[in-house]
Amino acid sequence: MNILLDDRSCRDALYPFCQVRSAAHIRVGILSIYEKWQWFFPGKVWLVSEPPGPPGDEPLVTVPASLVPSEAYLMAAREQLPAGTVAAGCPLLEYPWQITSANDRAIREDFRMITRDRVSGPVSPTNRVVQPEAVFIEPGATVEFSILNASAGPIYIGRDAQIEEGSLIRGPVSIGEGSRVKMGTRIYGATTIGPFCLAGGEIKNSVMTAYSNKGHDGYLGDSVIGSWCNLGAGTSNSNLKNTAAPVRMWSRKDHAYVEAGVKCGLLMGDYSRSAINTSFNTGTVVGVCCNVFGDTFQKRTIGDFSWGDERYRFDKAISDIRNWKQLKGMDITSGEIEALQQVYQTLEIK
């Protein structure tokens, strides 16, 4: 059976995380939605937005790309896809802030799925570990002189990740492949640090998708950070209003501010960056490819390709992305440029 993940209706609903890549690439838990499906259907998962499609010699089942499948759902799907798209343990993401609310359960689900019948790498005796049976360390990862407390949820440390001295990690937490947690960092659940990220300071109930940096002191809470983002030293966000009233966040789908719960922080799209000591207000949405700076609280909605209060020139934006990617030994692809060009052209039409 081939699985076709339909991401056509997600672009506005999950803004700013579906502008240059599919909703299926959103990371919820240890794995992205796409990776969860691939775990059970290797080589048989396709996206509507990324032709060519699957061959026609096997049955094809279409599923919303914003569905976060549980392990039980995926196991049942091997025999026959369960009726309906929303089942127990399978949230259907309708707004981007729901990524953080789904992350706790997703980390636990992914942890069981990934570590079943496997043995964790050894934990160095320099560390202090609480409930070591809920800590899993992949080959090549290093953890020294840190505290790992898995009493409230599992801790997963990916291949070749580095947890430096003095780090405090309280589960459920996932540290992705090749990521680095700097000395003295405090991370508590439910938090996902995606592959090849840099983490520092204080991080709580947040998701960093992949290849992004929060390398210095500052608070990141109840937030979702896209890929290839950088938060300058001292950048912090508010996640709770001083009145303790519900947070209202901008929804592109509804063209209005929508209540997102009592706690909600920063949503930052791919390729965006903030200058040192940037302060983000409660419930801020930053679009794709923005350079955010200023000595006051930022606006609560910052549109795609913003350079401060001006428009980011497209050629300059691509050049800067290339510089950032080269820092990690990579280069911007023609596909990325094309996707960003489509976003930029939409702005010009407006």
Cα(40)–Cα(63) distance, rounded to whole angstroms?
Answer: 15
Q: Based on the domain organization, do 242 and 317 belong to the same domain?
A: yes
Q: Based on the domain organization, do 61 and 142 belong to the same domain?
A: no
Cα(229)–Cα(220) distance, rounded to whole angstroms?
Answer: 13
Q: Based on the domain organization, do 198 and 269 belong to the same domain?
A: yes
Residue 322: burial class (beta carbons within 10 Å; 0-12, 13-18, 19+): middle
Residue 137 lies in a domain: yes
Identify the weakest region by mean pLDDT among 11-15, 232-236, 287-291. 11-15
Contacting residues for 14 by C-beta, under 8 A, at least 6 apart: 23, 26, 66, 93, 95, 96
Average of pLDDT values for 250-270? Answer: 94
Residue 349 clears pLDDT 70, i.e. is over it:
no
Residue 148's pLDDT is: 98
Q: What's the half-sphere exposure (Cβ side, CA atoms, 13 Å) at 258?
A: 16
Q: Based on the domain organization, do 61 and 179 belong to the same domain?
A: no
Say how many domains are in the chain.
2
Residue 246 clears pLDDT 90, i.e. is over it:
yes
Q: Based on the domain organization, do 89 and 119 belong to the same domain?
A: no
What residues make up the domain containing 230? Answer: 115-345
Q: Based on the domain organization, do 80 and 163 belong to the same domain?
A: no
Residue 22 clears pLDDT 70, i.e. is over it:
yes
Residue 52's pLDDT is: 67
Q: Based on the domain organization, do 150 and 220 belong to the same domain?
A: yes
Residue 85 clears pLDDT 60, i.e. is over it:
no
Q: Based on the domain organization, do 90 and 132 belong to the same domain?
A: no
Residue 350 clears pLDDT 70, i.e. is over it:
no
Per-residue pLDDT tens for 296-307?
888 999 999 999
Q: Based on the domain organization, do 80 and 135 belong to the same domain?
A: no
Q: Based on the domain organization, do 197 and 324 belong to the same domain?
A: yes
Identify the weakest region by mean pLDDT among 73-77, 100-104, 181-185, 272-276. 73-77
Q: Based on the domain organization, do 67 and 141 belong to the same domain?
A: no
Average of pLDDT values for 29-47? Answer: 95
- Give, as one character, the DSSP assignment of residue 151: S
Q: Based on the domain organization, do 128 and 79 belong to the same domain?
A: no
